[in-house]
């Protein structure tokens, strides 16, 4: 079973729906489990990336793992279920949100004539914009072009990220699992290009860069918190048109030790419970907002992160059990490749990818100035689903 190849990103809200014959988890429970998976995946990936800026799409990665769950059996299924925190009780279907689209899609590429379980094909096709495609893996270049074309068609953008698909589409490949998540939207209240200034930004290494800093004064959702270790944290939420999706910015304040250590400490303590607490405690506030313009593109081999999450059987030719996809057996995942891209500008965003807290009193003239490393999450307001998560250490 060849790789899961995610990414690129457009806006609509994802609504949970049940597969026939299944029992849905309560929305609040599913929201928490999906957020927990997103945070855990990000923490494992971020550790390996040291201090660099990065972005990934937990929603896209989960999409591939959910599709694999449909065909997994035995311990292979158990590992996927335990890593995600849930079985495949739900699927994602698009619902319109004015001005925005968060559109998932997933496809299984198989050789022509391959014996794929009709039940699996039917369930995959009825779930998450799923489809079954044919590809000639004997011709790696042609198969890669076919997969790339599918990615382009499902991201609504012909500018497909440069992802090496030839290794995925090799003569040894029996099945390729490909998922995409595309997001593109405008701010509910745009930043004015006229107000963008060149201002200093202190990087994770401690050096100072002069960067384009967007600015506006507006009503925003904001909160200032203190962690159990007495470090301060500012949280800002910027909504997109339609209010279905928002950007959550987590900006650590100066803490004990080197300033460059503040963000890693925050990310190490990040949890679904903490995010829910912060988001629920935000208050509407008129304030000055300074946010750097940034563009990030990241590529990851997810094998190490999956292993840390307890997903190992899928990569083992002996132990992988995907007889739910094909009774012929012998399928396993040879690669798990993820690529994501995000661009935040004055107009909006284009993306293609247990700590006790106490609310602090705000200052009389509040200013949110992201002039040092910060973490960001692109999330659905109603469901809490994390479409993208990343950090900016050098805009």
> What pLDDT, on a 0 to 100 scale, did the predictor assign at position 33?
85
233 pLDDT exceeds 60? Answer: yes
What pLDDT shows up at residue 237? Answer: 92
What is the model's pTM?
Answer: 0.81
Are 160 and 8 contacting, i.e. CB atoms less than 8 angstroms apart?
Answer: yes
Higher pLDDT, 226 or 75: 75
- According to DSSP, residue 259 is labeled G
Rounded to whole angstroms, the Cα distance separating 356 from 226 reads 8
| Phi, psi of 378, rounded to the nearest 5 degrees | -100, 115
Q: Which tens digits make up the pLDDT trace of 236-259?
A: 999 888 657 889 999 988 655 554
Rounded Cα distance, 11 and 380, in Å: 10
> How many angstroms from the chain centroid is the CA of residue 49?
16
Higher local confidence (pLDDT), 356 or 315: 315
pLDDT at residue 167 in the model? 53
| pLDDT value of position 249 | 92
305-322: average pLDDT: 89
CA separation for the pair 170, 167 (Å, rounded): 6
Most confident of 7-11, 211-215, 225-229, 343-347: 211-215
Looking at per-residue confidence, does 328 or 209 come out higher?
A: 209
Sorting pLDDT into bands at 50, 70 and 90, what band is 75? Answer: very high
The pLDDT value recorded for residue 91 is 46
Least Cα distance to 393 among 203, 255, 207 occurs for: 203
Lowest-confidence region among 44-58, 73-87, 156-170, 321-335: 156-170
DSSP letter string, 303-362 = HHHHHHTT--GGG-TTT---TTT-TT-------BEEEEEEEE-SSEEEE------EEPPP
Residues in the chain: 395
Please tell me what DSSP assigns to residue 85.
T
Q: Tell me the domains of the chain and their CATH numbers.
A: 2-185+296-341 (3.30.497.10), 193-295+344-392 (2.30.39.10)
pLDDT surpassing 80 at residue 353: no
pLDDT tens-digit readout, 175-212: 677 777 777 778 888 888 888 888 889 888 888 989 88
């Amino acid at each position: 079973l060849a790789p899961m190849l995610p990414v690129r990103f457009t806006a609509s809200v994802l609504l949970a729906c049940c597969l026939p014959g299944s029992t849905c988890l309560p929305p609040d429970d599913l929201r928490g489990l999906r957020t927990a998976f997103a945070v855990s995946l990000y923490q494992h990936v971020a550790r390996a990336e040291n201090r660099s800026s990065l972005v990934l799409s937990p929603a896209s990665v989960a999409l591939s793992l959910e599709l694999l769950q449909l065909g997994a059996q035995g311990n292979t299924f158990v590992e996927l279920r335990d890593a995600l925190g849930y079985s495949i009780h739900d699927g994602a279907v698009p619902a319109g949100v004015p001005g925005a689209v968060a559109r998932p899609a997933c496809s299984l590429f198989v050789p022509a004539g391959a014996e794929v379980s009709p039940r699996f094909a039917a369930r995959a096709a009825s779930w998450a914009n799923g489809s079954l495609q044919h590809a000639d893996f004997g011709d790696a270049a042609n198969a890669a072009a076919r997969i790339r074309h599918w990615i382009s068609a499902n991201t609504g953008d012909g500018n497909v990220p440069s992802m090496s698909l030839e290794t995925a589409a090799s003569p040894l490949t029996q099945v390729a699992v490909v998922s995409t998540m595309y997001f593109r939207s405008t701010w509910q209240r745009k930043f004015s290009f006229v107000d963008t200034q060149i201002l200093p930004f202190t990087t994770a290494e401690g050096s100072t860069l002069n960067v384009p800093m967007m600015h506006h004064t507006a009503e925003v959702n904001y909160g200032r918190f203190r962690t159990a270790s007495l470090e301060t944290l500012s949280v800002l939420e910027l909504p997109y048109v339609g209010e279905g999706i928002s950007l959550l910015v987590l900006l650590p304040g100066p803490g004990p030790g080197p300033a460059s250590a503040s963000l890693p400490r925050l990310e190490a303590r990040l949890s679904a419970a903490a995010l829910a607490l912060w988001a629920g405690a935000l208050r509407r506030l008129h304030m000055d907002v300074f946010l750097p313009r940034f563009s990030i593109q990241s590529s990851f081999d997810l094998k190490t992160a999956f292993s840390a999450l307890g997903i190992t059987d899928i990569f083992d030719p002996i132990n992988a059990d995907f007889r739910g996809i094909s009774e012929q057996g012998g399928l396993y995942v040879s690669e798990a490749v993820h690529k994501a891209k995000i661009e935040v500008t004055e107009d909006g965003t284009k993306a293609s990818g247990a700590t006790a807290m106490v609310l602090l009193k705000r200052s009389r003239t509040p200013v949110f100035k992201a002039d040092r490393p910060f973490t960001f999450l692109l999330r659905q307001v109603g469901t809490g689903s994390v479409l993208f998560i990343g950090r900016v250490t050098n805009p």
